[in-house]
Amino acid sequence: MGQVKNQHYVPQSFLERFMSADENVFVFDKASRKVFATGVRNLASEQGFYNLPPDVSSDHQAVEKTFSQLEGDAKRVIDNLLSRRAFI
């Protein structure tokens, strides 16, 4: 895994469940009181959100890498559970 710049604090796999047919999610910006549509790659993320300072770890993206693995595992479990539901 290379350096991840845009790090999501809400997994994209969670956000994807709210996408419209054109693969956008509708967002309400409370500060500007505006509604807009955007892709999940642009939501709930910040540049370097989980990066650790060099004095804490030699791998400053250790947290991002760990969460990425956990999110992948969780996605597989959730997808499996939802596929068993008749209404999904």
Q: Please report, for residues 11, 60, 62, 64, 79, the alpha-carbon distance to residue 52 in angstroms, rounded to integers and kept in the order given.
A: 19, 4, 8, 9, 31
**How is the chain split into domains, by residue range?**
6-83
Residue range 36-86, pLDDT digits in tens:
999 999 999 999 999 999 899 889 999 999 999 999 999 999 999 988 876
More confident of the two residues 33 and 1? 33
Q: What is the pTM of this model?
A: 0.77
